[in-house]
Amino acid sequence: MLINFFYLLRQYGIPVSINELLTLIEVLRRPIMMPTLDDFYRTARMTLVKDESHFDRYDQAFAAFVKRAEPIIEKYKEIPEHWLLADFKKNLTDEQKAAIEKHGWDKLMELFKERLEEQKGRHAGGNKWIGT
């Protein structure tokens, strides 16, 4: 998909290089944030657009890209939850799996939601709050 986005930006007259595309891919591969469409928009613009005079064309290209990607995004929404959970559980340690078994998945998600509601600001480090 990123290759298509790269060529679309070029079609809109934005001088994007392969090095910039590789930089974007490198940034996206790092587990810094939970990616949203807004995060991708900003991150891609920061790494791919060198001159602010191209921002309007970038916005137009991005809108066209999202419009083309919507059917694909809708397909991903149809992925059964148990498939995602199975993949998620592959990355857990034995200790984490035991904790989930002990308390149950629903209880764990309930605790997660409660923590998010209690948390009032940014958090980095520690073992109680959810990192932001």
Cβ atoms 24, 5 nearer than 8 A: no
Contact 17, 60 (CB under 8 A): no
Rounded average pLDDT over 67-79: 74
Which band of pLDDT confidence, cut at 50, 70 and 90, is reported for residue 77?
low
In the chain, domain spans: 2-77, 92-118
pLDDT (0 to 100) of residue 93: 84
What the block records as the tokens of 10 is: 């070029």
**Span 58-71, mean pLDDT?**
90
Mean pLDDT of the 33-50 span: 86
**Mean pLDDT of all residues in 15-35:** 85
Higher pLDDT, 13 or 40: 13
Tokens of 131: 């990192």
Q: At residue 126, does pLDDT exceed 90? A: no
Round to whole Å and give the CA distance between 89 and 13: 44
